[in-house]
Amino acid sequence: MRVRILGSAAGGGVPQWNCACAGCRTARATGVHRTQDGVAVTGDGSAWYLLNASPDVRAQLLAAPELAPGPGRRDTPVRGVVLTTAELDHAAGLLMLREAGALTVCGTGAVLDTLRTDLPLLPALARYTSLRVRCLTPGEPLDLDGGLTVRALAVGSKRPRYARGEPAGERVCALRVSDARGRAFVYATCLPEWTEAFDAFLAGADAALLDGTFATADEPARVAGLARTPREMGHLPIAGMLEAVRRHPGTRCLFGHLNNTNPYAHGGAVGPVEIAADGLTLAL
Query: Which chain residues interact with ligand MLT by CB under 6 A?
Result: 10-11, 87-89, 161, 190, 233-234
> Could you tell me which stretch among 12-20, 58-66, 212-220, 225-233 binds Zn ion (CB under 5 A)?
12-20
**Which partner, Zn ion, Mn ion, ligand MLT, none, binds residue 113 by CB below 5 to 8 Å per kind?**
none
Taking CB under 5 A as the criterion, the residue among 52, 54, 84, 260 binding Zn ion is 260
> Could you tell me which stretch among 18-26, 74-82, 173-181, 264-272 binds Zn ion (CB under 5 A)?
18-26
Amino acid at 162: Y
Closest approach of Mn ion to the CB of residue 182, in Å: 30
Decide if residue 11 touches Mn ion (CB under 5 A): yes
Using alpha carbons, select from 93, 82, 85 the residue that is nearest to residue 57.
93
Whether the CB-CB separation of 266 and 23 falls below 8 Å is answered with yes
Query: Which of 10, 67 has the CB closer to ligand MLT?
Result: 10
Please list every residue from 228 through 247 that binds Zn ion, using CB under 5 A: none
**Which partner, ligand MLT, Mn ion, Zn ion, none, binds residue 234 by CB below 5 to 8 Å per kind?**
ligand MLT
Decide if residue 113 touches Mn ion (CB under 5 A): no
Query: Which of 88, 244 has the CB closer to ligand MLT?
Result: 88
Closest approach of Zn ion to the CB of residue 23, in Å: 5
Rounded Cα distance between 22 and 176, Å, is 35
Amino acid at 242: L
Please name the helix (run of DSSP H) or strand (run of DSSP E) that holds residue 154, with its range, or none.
Answer: strand 149-156
Using alpha carbons, select from 187, 166, 168 the residue that is nearest to residue 176.
187
Please list every residue from 85 through 104 that binds Mn ion, using CB under 5 A: 89
Closest approach of Zn ion to the CB of residue 46, in Å: 39
Query: Which of 178, 259 has the CB closer to ligand MLT?
Result: 259
> Could you tell me which stretch among 82-90, 154-162, 167-175, 224-232 binds Mn ion (CB under 5 A)?
82-90
Rounded Cα distance between 194 and 88, Å, is 24
H runs (alpha helix) in the chain? 22-30, 57-62, 88-91, 109-114, 121-125, 196-202, 219-224, 242-245
SS3 content of the chain, % helix, strand, coil (to 5): 25, 25, 50
Going by C-beta distance under 8 Å and a sequence separation of 6 or more, which residues neighbour residue 17?
none
Closest approach of Zn ion to the CB of residue 84, in Å: 24
Task: State how far the alpha carbon of 148 is from the alpha carbons of 2, 46, 48, 151, 197, in Å.
Answer: 11, 12, 10, 10, 22
Contact positions vs Zn ion (CB under 5 A)? 19, 21, 24, 260
